[in-house]
Amino acid sequence: MTSIPEAIPFLFLRLHLITTVAAAVPIVAVVVAAAAFLYPGGIAWFLSRRQTHIPGPCGLEAGFCLAGGAAHRVLALLCRCFSADRLMAFSVGLTRFVVSSNPETAREILNSSAFADRPIKESARELLFHRAMGFAPFGVYWRNLRRISATHLFCPKSIASFGDRRREIGEKMLGDVRLLMRKHGEVDIKRVFHFGSLSNVMVSVFGKTYDFGKGEGMELDGMVKEGYELLGSLNWSDHLPFLWWLDLQGLRRRCRVLVGKVNLFVGRIIEQHKQTRITRFEQAKGVAGDFVDVLLGLEKEEKLSDSDMVAVLWEMIFRGTDTVAVLLEWTMARIVLHPEIQYKAQAEIDAVVGSRGSFVIPTSQAFITFSL
Ligand code: HEM
């Protein structure tokens, strides 16, 4: 047995070790934190098991920049600063991001199955989009939805069958422009495109047109706007999971309110379609059915539940409204900046419409060529 006087030096040694370790802990913590903070691409890349050396901003600055309005400009600037044209890494909280300003690299990323699964945001999950196409995991369900959409919604026959409805929408847009010019002397073209594009999606997906100034149309527009705001918000609990339960920005609460309204609205349309459905047989005979008819006509293993149908239909509205409206607005802005293109487009339209003065809807191919 060791006597007390003999044990005293060991006691001192142990105490000395403990105090040395205790003193070293904060230093190590500061060094690790500094390394994490200064790591190219930021903290999320430092913590990742697959640490790579893609250039990019350290810390959290890129995340804060994204919270602003013009994220694409900030990212382009950062890419130039870090000479990271092909690939730049950055962190938003604990989420790793890569961005490319190079078309070849962007194409490789978009075509690679490694990037097929997009991480689902809380708002997308709450709004049920994990059951729709864009956020569904890469697999049988996603492939099935993709095939159904390609065959029945985006095929040339289906696009052609809605030609007359598109003509009506185009004429209404022109009428709105004329009216606004007469009333105010200027036109908020973004709004005109937004409503035109929303009408176009509603016609091909739900087979219905709406007056967005009142009743159901107004309700629909409110829901679409709220949905865009929720999906477009940078939700910090997506990237800082420890904040999840706090719902600091109130997005979860708003999503749940919206989902209740959407379920009622789209559910009502599905019910109406069940009563007056255009069957596959009728569609085969040339009667134009809409996408709800197509989904209701699915059988056996392809059959979707009503809640999955709501998600798929609702996603089409989101995917198809702003994309088209923004592309048209951008085309207009480019045309304004390049008068020579404007003259050329005007000459082409005059050559087709000419003195007949009728409104001609160009084919999708011609329009795409014209837009580009
Ligand atoms: C000019 C207009 C459009 C542009 C520029 C555009 C662009 C894109 C892009 C880049 C993607 C792939 C990236 C992503 O998953 O977010 C995508 C996916 C998708 N778009 Fe569009 N889009 C347009 C119009 C539309 C319209 C009108 C609809 C429906 C009516 C639509 C429905 C979809 C769907 C369902 C997906 C998901 C496909 C999948 O996950 O496999 N888009 N779109």
Are 123 and 233 spatial neighbours (Cβ–Cβ below 8 Å)? yes
> Which residue out of 323, 330, 367 has the highest number of ligand 1 atoms within 8 Å of its CB and is therefore the one to mutate?
323
DSSP state of 89: E
Q: How far does residue 353's CA lie from ligand 1's centre (Å)?
A: 31
Q: How far does residue 188's CA lie from ligand 1's centre (Å)?
A: 25
Q: How far does residue 320's CA lie from ligand 1's centre (Å)?
A: 7
Q: How far does residue 315's CA lie from ligand 1's centre (Å)?
A: 10
First to last CA, the chain: 91
CB atoms within 10 A of CB 218: 13
Alpha carbon dihedral 343, 371, 187, 68, in 10-degree steps, equals -130
Q: How far does residue 29's CA lie from ligand 1's centre (Å)?
A: 45
Closest residue by CA, ligand 1 atom 33: 319
Among candidate residues 321, 222, 319, 320, the one with its CA nearest the CA of residue 265:
222
Which phi and psi (to 5°) does residue 88 adopt?
Answer: -130, 140
Contacts of 259 (CB under 8 A, 6+ apart): 126, 127, 128
- Looking at residue 181, its pLDDT comes to 93
Closest residue by CA, ligand 1 atom 37: 134
- Looking at residue 338, its pLDDT comes to 93
- Looking at residue 49, its pLDDT comes to 72
Q: Which two tokens stand for residue 128?
A: 């049920």
CA-derived radius of gyration, the chain: 28
Look at the alpha carbons of 204, 133, 193, 222 in this order and tell me if their dihedral is positive or negative.
positive
Are 235 and 93 spatial neighbours (Cβ–Cβ below 8 Å)? no
State the DSSP H helix or E strand holding residue 97, giving kind and residue range, or none if neither.
strand 95-99
- Looking at residue 276, its pLDDT comes to 78
Which phi and psi (to 5°) does residue 95 adopt?
Answer: -100, 135
> What are the extents of the domains in the chain?
25-115, 126-326, 338-372
pLDDT tens, residue order, the chain (372 aa): 556 666 666 666 666 666 776 777 777 777 777 777 778 888 888 888 776 788 988 876 666 666 666 788 888 888 998 899 899 998 888 888 899 999 999 999 989 888 888 888 888 888 878 888 888 888 888 899 999 899 888 888 888 888 888 999 999 999 999 999 999 999 999 999 999 999 999 998 888 888 888 889 999 999 999 999 998 888 888 888 888 888 889 999 999 999 999 999 999 999 988 887 665 556 555 555 788 988 888 887 788 888 889 999 999 998 899 999 999 999 999 999 999 998 998 888 888 776 555 554 444 444 444 443
Are 220 and 214 spatial neighbours (Cβ–Cβ below 8 Å)? no
- Looking at residue 372, its pLDDT comes to 36
DSSP state of 186: S
Closest residue by CA, ligand 1 atom 1: 324
Q: Which fold has domain 126-326?
A: Cytochrome p450 (1.10.630)
Pocket of ligand 1 from Cβ distances under 6 Å: 133-134, 146, 201, 315-316, 319-320, 323-324, 327
Give the burial class of 132: count Cβ atoms within 10 A of its Cβ; 0-12 exposed, 13-18 middle, 19 or more buried: buried
**The one-letter amino acid at 254:** R
Ligand 1 atom closest to 204 (CA): 30
Task: Give, to the nearest 10 degrees, the angle between helix 306-337 and helix 215-232.
Answer: 80
- Looking at residue 365, its pLDDT comes to 44
Are 310 and 263 spatial neighbours (Cβ–Cβ below 8 Å)? yes
